[in-house]
Structure 1
Amino acid sequence: MEGMKPRIALPPFPRFRGRLHDARTATSIGRWLGLAITVCFLTGVTSHYLQRPPDWLADLLPSRPTWGYRFSQGLHVASGIAAIPLLMAKLWAVYPRLFVTPPLRSVRHALERLSVAVLVGAGVFQLFTGLLNIVEWYPWPFSFVPVHFAVAWLLAGALLLHIVVKWPEIRSHWGLRSAGTLELPAEDAADRRSLLTAVGAGVAAVTLTTVGQSFTPLKRLDLLAPRHPDHGTQGLPINRTAYAAGVSAESARGWRLTVAGPKPYGLSLAELEALPQYEVRLPIACVEGWSVEARWSGVRIRDLLERAGASPRSRVRVVSLERRGAYRVMEMGATYAEDPMTLLALRLNGEVLSLDHGFPARIIAPNRPGVWQTKWVGGLEVL
């Protein structure tokens, strides 16, 4: 009719007709993707409860092995990064099945479609928001940690439902050779091996060029990770600078540590340095996946608690000089407080702490997330 605007035709979805868009290829890739997501989920839950333990768990968290958090968080980030090319390959293999018609054929098919929709959505969300987190870019309005933790459980549930619904088909294609009529032409087997080799090479490439930020024997290959374990002031990377925390040399001038307990007291930096000093080798292990071991020296937290008339197994609140930030106040469970390796550190690798590393004093404790190795400590409070 006259006056009506012509209708603009939308471009059709891409149509993939290759032979390898089949259940056998999807299963071959899916078992490795499932393993990567399972490892990522379990280490992520471990990381979350080490960062934000419920009250009943706070005094039970272990301080040993000293490298525990370094290992679990490094594995968490590495498995998450490895899962990205696996997820892309999996979606490529199943793409034609995502838009079948009719969309719902039975109750079982509806459950399958629901599990796939949630699985794809949650998987893409988790992996790519996690990737942005390790470069500390947050282009979203929500708090990353609680949302990432909640969606992790959603992803785990969707994966479990998907495996249950698809188990007959998965079992048929799981082995090295399919049975009966499911056996595919020989030419497809060669192409499939080439595809899986390429996917494996991609996973190996992204892993080897990023895992060095935590697994330091491979640090020379650390080309794509946002941190290098040797780059930073005093040989350690820095996530949060003194400037970002609102701490300056002027604000630290005349610093005095306050310890609140049954016998409260205060110590100047000179008085703190006059106390027995201990040296430990402990890693800083950050939630973004990088970690590096260093030599720290300072006063044991348990000695400071005993001087305040408190039990060395007391829970401790640590308050930083920083003016803002979600980690300005930290609570340390009794297991960490009594560990002889937990220090109020004054020196790093034999040198006085730089301002960015927490001058005049910071916490260093074994098996602890880096965000809770509080810098610029102003006070300790016995709880």
Structure 2
Amino acid sequence: MFDSALHEPRTAVVLGRLLGVALLVCFLTGLLSHLLQDPTGWVAGHLPSRPVNGYRVSQGLHVISGIAAVPLLSAKLWTVYPKLFEWPPVRGGSHAVERLGIAVLVASMLLELFTGLLNTLQWYPWPFPFRQTHFWLAWLAVGGLLLHVAAKGPLIARHWRRVGPAPAQRRAFLGAVTASVAAVTLVTAGQSVPWLRRTDLLAPRRPDLGPQGLPVNRTAAQAGTGATPAGWRLRVDGPRPYELTMDDILAMPQYEAELPIACVEGWSASARWSGVRVADLLARAGAPPSARLRVTSLEAQGPYRVMDMPAAYARDPLTLLALRVNGQVLSADHGYPARIIAPGRPGVLQTKWVALMEVL
């Protein structure tokens, strides 16, 4: 069953190059996503709020390259799988290191892509936290890949360039793999690439479907915020704390911004948001220019009920406490009575149902 002419180094190297590009894009954009979603230490103070579509592009590329890696990894494993069953399994120290790298690489990549695909569906049939596990699996995969490349370096170098015409069987196989990658990209990338929206046949989201023309991840019913408390007021804590009713907020200067909602699952959609500038609310509270902001939602519990915002975002004139979207008062699912919308941030940090803003 190992007698196919395609179980050979040249085919494996060609596929490895394509898979390497997909994995590199996926890894780097994933690191950026993790950093933006959970900024720590000195990095938090240096994250830029521009470009406006920065997170939309990087996270879209992350999911697109991850999905494209599925047929590439499948083809690569099929090409080399006879080597996975060679006997004896270990023939010395260097061979043991090579086999260890392969085991770590294959196991981590299969689990990484499997869990990543299910995350796009917001389905988590496992007991461990997805985001942290996904993050560390990526580093395991990179470590396994480096070990594998180091062990196979001479073989890869010998077959890096094509010598003579490629056999028809190899050309057909690589053409089929390329067509598969193009197909899965074409029918899923529309959830983040607007001009591919008409071909968005298999992606879990259509970015133009949902309340007020926008998708919703966490509904008001799920968050327990379907009914706004009577006498709702926005409290702003700082050197000069104060509270505002809805009428008070509406009496302030109103601004409008065209900004995207971009979520970690890969979908994104733009909308026209209007409300008051967060910078104006902070200035009224006597916040210094370097102050960070902490925003607390009305929802009783949830991993993103409390959100910290670095100063660069809080002071950006496009960052709004939004009251309306696309000309309509926010629905409960989109955060009524007020929500945060800021440029270049993950959707989970665009806090809905805002109750409290604290100057840090």
* TM-score under structure 1 length normalisation: 0.92
**Closer/same/farther in 2, CA of residues 269 and 312 from structure 1, 3 Å limit:** farther
Looking at structure 1, the residues matched to 187 and 213 of structure 2 have their Cα atoms a distance apart, in angstroms, of 20
Q: Which residue of 1 aligns with 2:247?
A: 270
Aligned pairs (5 A) from 1:1-383: 15-177=1-163, 189-249=167-227, 251-383=228-360
1:311 Cα shift?
2.0
Looking at structure 2, the residues matched to 229 and 70 of structure 1 have their Cα atoms a distance apart, in angstroms, of 12
Q: Which residue of 2 aligns with 1:4?
A: none
Instruction: Give secondary structure in 1 for the equivalent of 2:167.
Output: helix
Instruction: Give secondary structure in 2 for the equivalent of 1:317.
Output: strand
Letter matched to residue 251 of structure 2:
A
1:108 Cα shift?
2.1
1:252 Cα shift?
3.9
Instruction: Give secondary structure in 2 for the equivalent of 1:266.
Output: strand
Instruction: Give secondary structure in 2 for the equivalent of 1:100.
Output: coil
Looking at structure 2, the residues matched to 252 and 93 of structure 1 have their Cα atoms a distance apart, in angstroms, of 61
Q: Deviations over 1:249-298 (max 9, x none)?
A: 2x344211000111111111111111000001111010000001111010
Q: Deviations over 1:216-260 (max 9, x none)?
A: 1110000111011111111111111001111112x3442110001
Looking at structure 2, the residues matched to 28 and 307 of structure 1 have their Cα atoms a distance apart, in angstroms, of 60
Letter matched to residue 152 of structure 1:
A
- The answer to whether the 8 A contact 1:317-1:331 is kept is yes
* TM-score under structure 2 length normalisation: 0.98
- The answer to whether the 8 A contact 1:73-1:287 is kept is yes
1:314 Cα shift?
1.1
Letter matched to residue 38 of structure 2:
R
1:147 Cα shift?
1.1
Instruction: Give secondary structure in 1 for the equivalent of 2:168.
Output: helix
Looking at structure 2, the residues matched to 264 and 55 of structure 1 have their Cα atoms a distance apart, in angstroms, of 27
- The answer to whether the 8 A contact 1:336-1:365 is kept is yes
Looking at structure 2, the residues matched to 312 and 321 of structure 1 have their Cα atoms a distance apart, in angstroms, of 27
Looking at structure 1, the residues matched to 208 and 96 of structure 2 have their Cα atoms a distance apart, in angstroms, of 52
Looking at structure 2, the residues matched to 34 and 310 of structure 1 have their Cα atoms a distance apart, in angstroms, of 47
Looking at structure 2, the residues matched to 209 and 65 of structure 1 have their Cα atoms a distance apart, in angstroms, of 27
Worse overlay, 48-57 or 118-127: 48-57
Unaligned runs of 5+ in 2: none
Letter matched to residue 75 of structure 1:
L
Looking at structure 2, the residues matched to 376 and 176 of structure 1 have their Cα atoms a distance apart, in angstroms, of 59
Unaligned runs of 5+ in 1: 1-14, 179-185
Letter matched to residue 154 of structure 1:
L
Instruction: Give secondary structure in 2 for the equivalent of 1:58.
Output: helix
- The answer to whether the 8 A contact 1:252-1:360 is kept is no
- The answer to whether the 8 A contact 1:313-1:337 is kept is no
- The answer to whether the 8 A contact 1:296-1:345 is kept is yes
Looking at structure 2, the residues matched to 376 and 382 of structure 1 have their Cα atoms a distance apart, in angstroms, of 18
